Structure 1
């Protein structure tokens, strides 16, 4: 994805999250060379992810599926693609943070073999202050298929 896609990405981001990333977050990610990939049907973008390589691991910074497209497997397809890209780039693991309240995402990450490795206290903004983040990791077989 490129700067030309940011408006479409933001439309999903703002519907999917109470505290969405800003236009600047996406522009900065692109400028920094992070991998931003989207899943598209002929008529619309259904989801995207932002992947940051870090030496021998990758960090999944954001993964989102449009609210009207959730629950049909697009999140699994996006996550599988992120895992494949990270492994092909030489990452030994994929790291991410997730809200403990995001039960759908936790179920997805569990199906894909992610393990909890830590907790970041007061990481996310929330309606009543801050919410912790669970830190999850999935070991990768570089260049291998990453489906659950």
Structure 2
């Protein structure tokens, strides 16, 4: 298992995972915009295959996880944890003091992962995410990176 910076050559694999993992996926144009920014999109590979990816920005000492997805066929195999552990280590090298993310309130596996990595809930955005039957809240989490 390895993590590397994504390239434009990964676009097809990223969009395949994005569409399979999310009920309301990003448009390809959005993914392209982030792929053109250095040190923003990361992929986790296993057996020469992209299994997960993440989009992270670091600005003015704060990192934000904009998107993360694991191929549904490979969820539960530690790929999300490995990718998050890499990201935490990486953004520390970029002088980030805090790492923020938002997660659907119904995404219990992701919430369990983030809390196991010591992220703390810092707020809630009511009715933030669309669902098939309406909307659901986004739980906001933060990890303090300075000792």
- TM-score, normalisation: structure 2: 0.91
Shift in Å, 1:129: 2.0
Instruction: Give the gaps of 5 or more residues in structure 2.
Output: 1-5
- Identify unmatched segments of 5+ residues in structure 1: 143-148
Select 2:26's aligned residue among 16, 21, 24. 21
Deviation at 1:34, TM superposition (A): 5.4
Does 1:126 pair with 2:131?
A: yes
2:71 aligned to which of 66, 75, 98? 66
User: Does the alignment pair 1:80 with 2:85?
Assistant: yes
How big is the shift at 1:22? 1.4
In the alignment of these two chains, the number of paired residues is 142
2:3 aligned partner: none
TM-score (norm 1): 0.90
List structure 1 segments (4+ residues) > 2 angstroms apart after TM superposition. Answer: 30-34
Aligned to 1:110: 115
Output the aligned Cα RMSD: 1.4
